[in-house]
Structure 1
């Protein structure tokens, strides 16, 4: 059967047999894919009857679907060339839901993160995972990233401080990637995770990068991890490291809170303190 692209080629169209036949069933056929009967159209071209046999809708839909999939695959490949596995440490590269140790104060975060992946196509907002250090926020955010990446999504995980260092390393160098490349890829990916926002005061340039990414992702899903609640986040975004005003209208803050569901982590101690207590307890049992 002729493809949609072939069917719409003017040469093939004009050479189609019986194209001016008065009989609408002359040359009609049943689509081999959907079994729908395809009849000739009744048109006039330059005063002459013109009765082409149209391409079945299922063929057109399949063509456009393949085109969208091809474009998406190319975009995913471009993003992967920029970020690879993401900007994260080796520990987070191994993070998964299976090796996350749940503790009191982290149970809800774990359940919501798993549900986020399971129902990703239904999500209309990202997650803002916040709370004290060592509560497993980055681990769960990385677990979401890895699982969606495995499912074929263009997922990017970025520790924002590593991103700022990476961007500055492109200045005046022979790097094949510019800061614009990194920013564009972060804007265009299907799911973005910005890890550890609020860890260090921002420079004017860093705020500009962050705002460009947030503004460019309107309508897309972005996850965040932070030690800061929303009140402290607003303060962090309001001025730079030298105390100069950055965002008087709270534009960046509005982009974050308007597109996320805040999830608080409240474990009594950090994961590293928790593991230390486990080792001490095991040692006491031996002694």
Structure 2
């Protein structure tokens, strides 16, 4: 490209050539220089190929969008890690849950409604109890809800009932572990708590009292909770106690999963 000093008549535009895009109209850009002596001409540069400039801008915009998407994905991954969601369940979604019966479609629509209207359920402190046979997709739908609301900027935490008891007792064996009060506050304040396999391990009054502390704390703060259990209503009530059961029942929705175990089948959600 010719970069020789232009004459006065050439200071507006001139034809230049780009090796990639061919001829283009180049425009003069005058740059005032501080301290110029009278009569000394200002510095003039010529605009470069506009097609090259557009391509560069598009590449930079694409790179920026990619960087932003990677950062968004990392934030979601960090939230999933903090939420305690196991990697096995991170592919769970409403879309890949196989609802091939009226009962399964009811469970799916209930879960989807809970996720899509989470702010309203958060205002009311709603509870979902997914109860029924082993391997019927209870955790799949619970994880679908949790991941949906995490994507909307809410917090969630997933743990088995046994893990919650162990978290509350951790200070007994490790003085550096969070105190029972600190754990209880975390479990109470998280936007959504999912308690899996509730009722399996509660063989002592102490364990029932600890679980009641969590359920009651969320009940008083109007914080939504999802519970999964392989028990009937009566068995769950007897296992966790009347106080906990009463709080789950208020503003709660019991969703039965009473079909056969389909965990061994290939598709996710079955």
Cα deviation, 1:135-174, whole Å, max 9, x if unaligned, reads 1011100110111112111222222122223333432314
**Structure 1 alignment gaps of length 5 or more:** 1-79, 239-249, 277-287
CA contact (8 A) 1:195 1:225 kept: yes
CA contact (8 A) 2:161 2:199 kept: no
1:214 is aligned to 215
Aligned ranges for residues 71-220 of structure 1 at < 5 Å?
A: 84-104=81-101, 105-123=103-121, 124=124, 125-218=126-219, 219-220=222-223
Q: What is the alpha-carbon root mean square deviation over aligned residues?
A: 2.4
Partners of 1:236 and 1:174 in 2: how far apart?
Answer: 31
Count of matched residue pairs: 184
Which has the bigger relative contact order, CA under 8 A and spacing at least 6? 2
- Would the alpha carbon gap of residues 99 and 195 (structure 1) be closer, same or farther in structure 2, given more than 3 Å must change? same
For the pair shown, which has the larger CA radius of gyration, 1 or 2?
2
Task: State the Cα distance separating 1:198 from its structure 2 match.
Answer: 1.4
TM-score by length of 1: 0.58
Task: State the Cα distance separating 1:100 from its structure 2 match.
Answer: 2.1
CA contact (8 A) 2:136 2:257 kept: yes
CA contact (8 A) 2:82 2:157 kept: yes
- Would the alpha carbon gap of residues 192 and 237 (structure 1) be closer, same or farther in structure 2, given more than 3 Å must change? same
Does residue 259 in structure 1 map to residue 260 in structure 2? no
Aligned ranges for residues 262-281 of structure 1 at < 5 Å?
A: 262-267=254-259, 269-275=260-266
CA contact (8 A) 1:88 1:159 kept: no
Partners of 1:139 and 1:222 in 2: how far apart?
Answer: 16
1:228 is aligned to 231
**Structure 2 alignment gaps of length 5 or more:** 1-77
TM-score by length of 2: 0.61
SS at match of 1:110: helix
